[in-house]
């Protein structure tokens, strides 16, 4: 995986080792191991055991660490099902079997919506963390509707039904 933001590059190999680089000097700003990382704008998000860590994409310093919300307790650690860093780096959306949660890089809870975002009724929800809103296809809003959850606040609006199956969000 490669991500570029401002003057920094995040690389992560298939074994989970990640490095935050200064693009101009080639200096390593931070590194570690994680199953999942992402970087956008000023924020580097790293899934760590039992939660998430936010770092500055400019210099790699830790901004906050949050526990994994609403996940199952198994083996002594909360498990998260899915997460996305907003495309502008302003928040992370965390989806668990018990709900949808949003946190800003300082670790503040922006919203929480209880409900089943991953279960037999809503097979394979497709979630996009857009600036200011989380968009969910094939989720609690129904199989042929888009649920939009505001960030911050967590107010939900469901679109009118559409025809055909939802495939994917466009990166742009």
For the chain, what percent of residues have pLDDT higher than 90? 49
Residues 118/82, Cβ–Cβ less than 8 Å: yes
Chain segment 90-100, per-residue pLDDT in tens: 999 988 777 88
Whether residue 8 has pLDDT greater than 80: yes
Chain position carrying tokens 């042929």: 144
Using alpha carbons, select from 62, 58, 63 the residue that is nearest to residue 23: 58
pTM for this entry: 0.84
Mean pLDDT of 153-169: 89
Q: How far apart are CA 98 and CA 133, in angstroms?
A: 19
* Token representation of residue 43: 């924020």
Q: How far apart are CA 35 and CA 80, in angstroms?
A: 12
Whether residue 122 has pLDDT greater than 50: no
Chain segment 41-100, per-residue pLDDT in tens: 999 999 988 889 999 999 999 999 998 775 544 344 445 578 899 999 999 998 877 788
């Amino acid at each position: 995986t490669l991500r570029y933001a401002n003057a920094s590059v995040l690389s992560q190999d298939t074994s989970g080792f990640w490095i935050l680089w200064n693009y101009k000097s080639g200096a390593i700003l931070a590194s570690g191991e994680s199953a999942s990382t992402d970087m956008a704008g000023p924020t580097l998000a790293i899934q760590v055991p039992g939660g998430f860590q936010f770092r500055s994409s400019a210099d790699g310093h830790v901004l906050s660490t949050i526990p994994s919300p609403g996940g199952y307790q198994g083996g002594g650690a909360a498990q998260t099902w899915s997460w996305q860093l907003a495309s502008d780096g302003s928040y992370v959306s965390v989806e668990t079997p018990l709900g949808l949660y949003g946190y800003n890089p300082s670790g503040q809870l922006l919203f929480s919506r209880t409900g089943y975002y991953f279960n037999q009724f809503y097979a394979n929800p497709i979630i996009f963390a857009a600036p200011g809103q989380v968009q969910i296809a094939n989720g609690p809003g129904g199989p042929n509707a888009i649920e939009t959850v505001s960030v911050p606040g967590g107010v939900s609006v469901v679109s009118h039904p559409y025809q055909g199956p939802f495939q994917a969000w466009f990166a742009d």
